[in-house]
């Protein structure tokens, strides 16, 4: 059987939606749809809909369930990877639900579960800028900062399956509080939500500040977000320059730690870098020599996701394909 004849089913679970797709092992999406309910709805209600939608999409792709070699599930943490469960998360309804085994039984296919950051590094490794490499790091860089690490051609998962929480490396023990409860995490400095909150705090009692006059802000502090800071940086507003440079310096600090610790061939930055481009990458590269020796920097390329918004739709199927890869039932795609 050729790679193109291997078919997998992927689920990408969020709070308010479940995206489902059928694909072949080249990453070609054959059918896809989504449920307009996710982990904020009762598991007992969502699970049957997930199974039914998966089966329907397999049919729409012109396949039988027997053609599906594996199913992959991508979900936000915390996860119990050993038990195949999605654990309780703030603002979500599900609590220790055995989704891996329930889907496997309902679909009749081997099912694999992993978190969204690990799924992201797998997608980049299989289909994106990391094809053909063996040592890769991916940073999700969106509302928060997650991490996935491939080392020696295998996904790093750790003793309990929660390795590579790279957004929660402590950069300053006296730094700002992070949503995780720790002080000075990389996510506290570089995550989209935390950056927005810090800019908003800096604008309190400054109703005439130039950032509040940017399009779409309408003078309201609550409308100030990461994108507003980026626009202010482009317009050379002093406060925006100061805060953008700090965020980039802290990101470089984290990247330097990862370079020295893992000695990767490539570090891929996700969503915020995808939309910011050189506005983010140039200052990060400028600060990086403070935090990593030339030997590490010269061995590692720093890049932006090649998949962009497609990384989400490839997440679940990448988890499925990694399960097949580890079982010796699928070979990695070669670099172009």
Whether 78 and 153 share a structural domain: no
In eight-state DSSP terms, residue 85 is E
Do residues 183 and 250 both lie within one domain?
A: yes
The whole-model pTM stands at 0.92
Q: Are residues 148 and 211 in the same domain?
A: yes
Mean pLDDT of 134-144: 94
Measuring CA to CA, how many Å separate 308 from each of 41, 85, 130? 28, 28, 14
- Least Cα distance to 61 among 7, 17, 18 occurs for 7
Pairing mode, strands 68-75 and 29-35: unpaired
Model confidence band, residue 309 (pLDDT cutoffs 50, 70, 90): confident
The predicted structure's pLDDT at residue 63: 97
Whether 52 and 189 share a structural domain? no
206-260 pLDDT tens trace: 999 999 999 999 999 999 999 999 999 999 999 999 999 999 999 999 999 999 9
- Do β-strands 136-139 and 266-269 pair in parallel, antiparallel, or remain unpaired? parallel
Residue 259, Cβ density class (10 Å: 0-12 exposed, 13-18 middle, ≥19 buried): buried
d(C-alpha 248, C-alpha 33), whole Å: 37
Q: What CATH number corresponds to the domain at position 154? A: 3.30.420.40
Predicted local confidence at residue 253, as pLDDT: 98
For residues 317 and 292, state if they share a domain.
Answer: no
Token couple for 235: 């317009």
Residues whose CB is less than 8 angstroms from the CB of residue 240 and which lie 6 or more positions away in sequence, other chains included: 199, 211, 229, 231, 232, 233
Structural domain containing residue 34: 3-116+309-326
Q: How many domains does the chain have?
A: 2
Which residue(s) pair with 301 in the sheet?
266
- β-pair partners for 29: 23
CA separation for the pair 309, 72 (Å, rounded) = 19
Backbone angles phi, psi at 23, to 5 degrees: -145, 160
Torsion, Cα of 211, 217, 221, 226 (10° steps): -70
**Do 66 and 175 fall into the same domain?**
no
- 196 and 57: one domain? no
Shared domain for 45 and 59, answered yes or no, is: yes
State whether 142 and 243 are in the same domain.
yes
Residue 162 and residue 270 in one domain: yes
Q: In a 3-state reduction of DSSP, which class is residue 129?
A: coil
């Amino acid at each position: 059987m050729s790679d193109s004849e291997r078919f997998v089913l992927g689920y990408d679970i969020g709070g308010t939606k479940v995206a489902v797709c059928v694909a072949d092992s080249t990453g070609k999406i054959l059918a896809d749809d989504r449920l307009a309910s996710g982990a904020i709805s009762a598991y007992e209600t969502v699970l049957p809909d997930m199974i039914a939608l998966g089966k329907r999409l397999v049919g729409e792709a012109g396949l039988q369930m027997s053609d599906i070699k594996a199913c992959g599930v991508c979900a936000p943490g915390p996860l119990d990877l050993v038990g195949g469960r999605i654990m309780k998360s703030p603002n979500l309804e599900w609590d220790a639900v055995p989704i891996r085994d329930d889907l496997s039984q309902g679909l009749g296919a081997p099912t694999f579960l992993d978190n969204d950051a690990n799924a992201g590094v797998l997608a980049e490794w299989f289909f994106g800028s990391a094809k053909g490499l063996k040592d890769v790091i991916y940073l999700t860089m969106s509302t928060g900062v997650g991490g996935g690490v491939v080392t020696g051609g295998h996904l790093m998962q750790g003793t309990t399956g929660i390795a590579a929480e790279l957004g929660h490396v402590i950069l300053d023990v006296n730094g700002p509080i992070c949503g995780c409860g720790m002080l000075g995490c990389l996510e506290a400095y570089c995550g989209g939500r935390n950056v927005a909150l810090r800019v908003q705090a800096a604008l309190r009692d400054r109703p005439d500040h130039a950032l509040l006059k940017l399009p779409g802000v309408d003078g309201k502090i609550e409308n100030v977000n990461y994108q507003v800071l980026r626009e202010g940086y482009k317009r050379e507003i002093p406060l925006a320059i100061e805060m953008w440079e700090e965020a980039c310096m802290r990101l470089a600090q984290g990247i330097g730690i990862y370079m020295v610790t893992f000695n990767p061939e490539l570090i891929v930055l996700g969503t915020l870098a995808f939309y910011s481009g050189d506005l983010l990458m140039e200052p990060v590269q400028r600060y990086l020599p403070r935090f990593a020796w030339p030997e590490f920097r010269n061995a590692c390329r720093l890049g932006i996701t090649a998949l962009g918004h497609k990384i989400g739709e490839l997440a679940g199927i990448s988890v499925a394909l990694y399960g097949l890869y580890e079982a010796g039932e699928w070979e990695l795609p070669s670099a172009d």
